[in-house]
Copies of this chain bind each other. A is one copy, B any other.
Amino acid sequence: MIIVMKAGATKRERDEVVKKIKEFGYKPHIIHGTTRDVIGAVGDERGKVILQSIEFMQGVESVVPILKPYKLASREVKKETSIIKISDNVSIGDKDIIVIAGPCAVESEEQIMEAAAAVKEAGAKVLRGGAFKPRTSPYSFQGMKEEGLKLLAKAREATGLPIITEVVNPETAELVAEYADILQIGTRNAQNFELLKKLGQLKKPVLLKRGMSMTIQELLMSAEYILSEGNQSVILCERGIRTFETATRNTLDLSAIPVLKQKTHLPVVVDPSHATGNYLYVAPMAFAAIAAGADGLIVEVHPDPEHASSDGPQSLKPNKFNTMMEKLRLFSEVSGRCL
């Protein structure tokens, strides 16, 4: 941690800061600059919010943290990319590009079975489908709940595809974990720390979506919650951030991929469907995500999007998904990956 003193700070003010640094158990180190002094506080500053209190001592201009606040998620701590095992033949983070696909919400047995068959046929490796749905409006369809989980399990049985579904409440987390192969944390719950802790205590892989106004660093801090509770199987998901642009639902931040690849060993998948909110833009963004280095995709596919109970406009029909997958195979190869 670096403490920058004000230009006119007195020796007395500086001495007080040095004293406080020692009081907190750190080693102060003064650099006399041309217009002001700068003091280094040597020691592990992570989790020591109390050090921030130095920020408003007399004569202090600012406090600059040096260490990243996450440890377990950091590539410094673990150099090799984590490979998250989902089932006997599906892993995320390895050479294979993993495409997760399916409808936004499970709506009926017929719908999920048809979707599952279609996405498998096209090359998807995991089936998605929401059973508990977090919706902006209390008047919107809230999901089929446990009934939906049972239908997902049925679709898994029929196709062999592992299933991913969202967890919205610590109270129902264990129930969902009984059925699902991957537990998804949605964008609105990405800083629901109670939920993060709960999933950290379970043994299932977690796909953590970036909150729509979360920085990359905060995403890694949310991952740290899960990791620090003992669950090492975390998959990060970029799904668009909130900006001023309204032509797309959110702004897909694909530069997050190379940034995350630098900073963390956790695998990264991309959700082009929720990010753009428009099926027309899903395929180009899927290709771009793989070209940028993503380990996989999560894509909405619905056999009959016109009648979908949620997110119809951004869902691909099976034939469009199939066309996309064919082209995606070429992009994967060029990227040195397999699909």
With A134-B193, A259-B247: A53-B307 Cβ-Cβ less than 8 Å? yes
Q: Does A254 contact B (CB under 8 A)?
A: yes
Q: What's the nearest-Cβ distance from chain B to residue A145, in Å?
A: 12
Q: Which residues of B contact A169 (CB under 8 A)?
A: 170, 194
Interface size range on A against B = 35 or more
Would B242 and A53 count as touching, CB distance under 8 A?
Answer: no
Would A244 and B228 count as touching, CB distance under 8 A?
Answer: no
Q: Which of A88-96, A118-126, A152-160, A214-222 has 4 or more CB atoms under 8 Å from chain B? A: A214-222
Partner of A331, one of B254, B256, B291: B291
Q: Does A324 contact B (CB under 8 A)?
A: no
Q: What's the nearest-Cβ distance from chain B to residue A161, in Å?
A: 26
Q: Which residues of B contact A144 (CB under 8 A)?
A: none
With A31-B40, A44-B34, A55-B313: A138-B284 Cβ-Cβ less than 8 Å? no
| Max count, chain B CB within 10 A of own CB: residue among A70, A254, A307, A313 | A254
Which residues of chain A in 193-236 are interfacial with respect to chain B, using CB atoms and an 8 Å cutoff? 193-194, 197, 211-213, 215-218, 221, 224-225, 228-229
Q: Does A57 contact B (CB under 8 A)?
A: yes
Q: Does A321 contact B (CB under 8 A)?
A: no
Q: Which of A61-69, A108-116, A174-182 has 4 or more CB atoms under 8 Å from chain B? A: A61-69
Q: Which residues of B contact A284 (CB under 8 A)?
A: 255, 257-258, 291-293
| Max count, chain B CB within 10 A of own CB: residue among A32, A67, A284 | A284
Q: What's the nearest-Cβ distance from chain B to residue A108, in Å?
A: 14
Q: How far is the CA of A327 from the CA of B333 in the complex (A)?
A: 12
**How many chain copies does the complex carry?**
4
Would A136 and B218 count as touching, CB distance under 8 A?
Answer: yes
Q: How far is the CA of A308 from the CA of B53 in the complex (A)?
A: 8
Which residues of chain A in 35-60 are interfacial with respect to chain B, using CB atoms and an 8 Å cutoff? 35-36, 38, 40, 42-44, 46-47, 49-50, 52-53, 55-57
Q: What's the nearest-Cβ distance from chain B to residue A2, in Å?
A: 5
Contacts from A to B (Cβ < 8 Å)? 2, 4, 6-8, 20, 29, 31-36, 38, 40, 42-44, 46-47, 49-50, 52-53, 55-57, 64, 66-67, 69-70, 76, 134-141, 168-171, 188-189, 191-194, 197, 211-213, 215-218, 221, 224-225, 228-229, 241-248, 251-259, 262, 275-276, 278-281, 284-285, 287-293, 305-310, 312-313, 327, 330-331, 334-335
* Interchain Cβ contacts under 8 Å between A and B, 21 examples: A6-B76, A34-B44, A35-B44, A35-B67, A46-B139, A49-B309, A50-B308, A50-B312, A56-B278, A56-B279, A136-B221, A170-B171, A171-B194, A213-B244, A215-B244, A215-B246, A216-B247, A217-B247, A251-B251, A251-B253, A288-B291
- Give the 3 A-B CB pairs with smallest separation, nearest first: A47-B139, A213-B213, A188-B191
